Chain A
Amino acid sequence: MSQETIKELHQQLVSKKRSALEITQETLERITSLEPNVRAFLSITDDYALEQAQQVDNKIAAGSEIGILEGIPIGIKDNMCTKGIKTTCASRILENFVPPYESTVTQKLKDAGAVMVGKTNLDEFAMGSSTENSGYQVTANPWDLERVPGGSSGGSAAAVAANECVVSLGSDTGGSIRQPASFCGVIGLKPTYGLVSRFGLVAYASSLDQIGPFARNVEDAAILLGAIAGHDPRDSTSLKLEIPDYTQYLKPELKKGLKVGIITETFGEGLESTVAASVQKAIAQLKDLGAEIKEISCPRFRYGLPAYYMIAPSEASANLARYDAVKYGIRKEAENLVNMYTGTRATGFGDEVKRRIMLGTYALSAGYYDAYYLKAQKVRTLIKQDFENAFAEVDVLVSPTAPSTAFKAGEKTADPLAMYLSDLMTIPVNLAGLPGMNVPCGFDDAGLPIGMQLISNVLREDVLFHVAHAYEQATEWHKKQPQIR
């Protein structure tokens, strides 16, 4: 199966080599044939997709110019509200929820003519690192069906890796785009906090949540980010900025004098040796491309994980208080109001969600706030300072994206803390609000993808695209496709 880029598909549409309907139909056929194995989608929106595609074809037939995303098949993580289309967050508590409104990102993509083919699987309420916490199904890693795709945006990562759509959207609170992108061998970008509107994104940890793209190449990710970024009056944390055309930063050669910092602490204990070797090799390649390489110490980086597991559950416990069986979602009938709340929440939430609600409620309860939540927020400042010091010296930081390649399904479900450790490298980036990107940089002996994480300063997505593209052009990793069997 060919894996066209957005620009290639656009060219085919403009030259009338293929119609949007044909592209959509072929995509839907591929989804139908692969889904029994991959299970990336919670719902397939075939009628909706065909209708969108027809509109694009009508436009082409009428001789109108079409935009770059028109007719491009896209997957959307099922925690973004789509009007009239079920949005479950992979939770049983929302199994019947059909949003009466549209999220800003999906509205923007709809306006841009992108064709949504389905809603992708995730860990319930985006809490998890393997997509095994979904209340509905377990998604397989397209490179090895017995392994997890990572999480929480595992469905979006797997769907792009398996070519069930061209690009997709995920959300990233502690690594939920970058870690699954690493496990599935695709590009995954978490933008600067505030660059993309969160309106209509089901809230998990509001001071950390951010929506971003998955793609099979850097250019596609740049195009998709350009389409979803921008100020939104309905999200008070969204930043007022001019959004550039991110594809202008993709150049055949690396900018002269570019400084790359290796975060020393991320190459320590607990890192798989094949992952370390691949990322080191990628750094050597960046040097060959002309980058100046420097070791950078971020001594407080490792405190990110414990701080995160206090901040995120605290915010989650508040955000998830809204699931009260009154306004939407399922209800477990009871003789009084409180029992209706407790019964519904006990039935509707899965284990990990309950665990985080419990942890957050405890951390925020009387007498513990200073010791836990406030302490964690102070540590957040220290981590931010480490990054500020680093970016005074270099343009971009490199680390492995995850300490290992994709693990087997069931391997870490019994030990929550072991599961949390797979987000060790990505979490500090969210705590500091910085942009971070996974770039595929090799395979281990079992043929599983390895990813490196590029981190840049606030709102310097241009640097990430620039460096990732130059690396991509010099390597072949992105051309490999999984043989799904």
Chain B
Amino acid sequence: MIDREEVKKVANLARLDITSEEEEQFTTQLNSILDYFDQLSELDTEDVAPTTRAIETSNITRTDTLKPFPDKQALLDSAPEQEDDYFRVPKIMASN
């Protein structure tokens, strides 16, 4: 079971600003989904290995060669705010 306090905590982890109505709604809905998920406890998975990918592939490597993106300006232009060659963001730490 997930309670309202926990929903608030998860919203913070997920960087979502949620209203108190949403808090209430998510508590109910997440609980019903988690209840539904509970039927998996019928299955004994003690000695079962997890499947992480549909077709197992591991350690796909390539040589680490630098390939600069041809249009740096297009990347910068996509940002909400930029300055010279940087993305601009609001203050990260509060000034005392």
Contact = CB atoms under 8 A, between A and B. Distances in A.
Q: Which of B14, B52, B87 has the most CB of A within 10 A?
A: B14
A214 interface: no
Interface stretch (A63-71, A120-128, A351-359): A351-359
A274 interface: no
Nearest to A432: B54
A306 B57 contact: no
Q: Which range contains the number of A residues in contact with the other chain?
A: 35 or more
A273 to B, nearest CB: 25
Given A237-B57, A379-B43, A346 B30 contact: no
Contacts of B55: 192-194, 237, 239, 433, 458
B91 A335 contact: yes
Contacts of A317: 14
Contact of B78 (A100, A207, A321): A100
Contacts of A349: 16
Contact of B29 (A300, A336, A355, A357): A355
A131 to B, nearest CB: 20
A236 B87 contact: no
Interface in A311-332: 317, 321, 324-331
Nearest to B26: A358
B40 A417 contact: no
Query: Main SS of chain A's interface residues?
Result: helix
A358 B51 contact: no
B62 A326 contact: no
Contacts of A193: 53-55
Interface stretch (A162-170, A369-377, A437-445): A369-377
Interface in A13-39: none
B45 A359 contact: no
Contacts of B80: 325-326, 328-331
A336 B37 CA distance: 38
A233 B62 contact: yes
A326 B80 CA distance: 7
A433 B36 CA distance: 23
Interface stretch (A286-294, A380-388, A460-468): A380-388
A482 interface: no
B71 interface: yes
A307 interface: yes
A336 B75 CA distance: 23
B15 A433 contact: no
Given A193-B53, A357-B16, A306 B40 contact: yes
Interface string A341-354: 11101100100001
B75 A381 contact: no
Contacts of B13: 361, 365
A342 B39 contact: no
A378 B50 contact: yes
B16 A237 contact: no
Contacts of B66: none
B10 A361 contact: yes
Nearest to B19: A346
A382 B48 contact: yes
Nearest to B16: A345
A379 B50 CA distance: 7
B78 A97 contact: yes
Contacts of B91: 335-337
A340 B87 CA distance: 14
B17 interface: yes
Given A208-B54, A306-B37, A384-B51, A417 B32 contact: yes
A241 B92 CA distance: 48
Contacts of A354: 16, 18, 22, 26
A303 B43 contact: yes
A433 B37 contact: no
A339 B17 CA distance: 8
Contacts of A379: 40, 43, 45
A434 B54 CA distance: 8
Contacts of B18: 346, 354
Contacts of A303: 39-40, 42-43
A129 B17 CA distance: 26
Given A306-B39, A379-B40, A357 B14 contact: yes
A353 B62 CA distance: 34
Nearest to B87: A326
Nearest to B81: A331
Nearest to A360: B14
A377 B92 contact: no
Interface of A: 97-98, 100-101, 192-194, 207-208, 233, 236-237, 239, 300, 303, 306-307, 309-310, 317, 321, 324-331, 333-343, 345-346, 349, 354-355, 357-359, 361-362, 365, 372, 374-382, 384, 416-417, 430-434, 458
Question: What are the nearest 6 A-B pairs in CB distance?
Answer: A433-B54, A377-B50, A193-B54, A100-B74, A331-B80, A346-B17
19 contacts: A100-B77, A193-B54, A208-B54, A237-B57, A306-B40, A324-B15, A326-B80, A327-B87, A336-B91, A337-B92, A342-B16, A354-B26, A357-B14, A357-B16, A362-B2, A377-B51, A381-B48, A382-B43, A417-B32
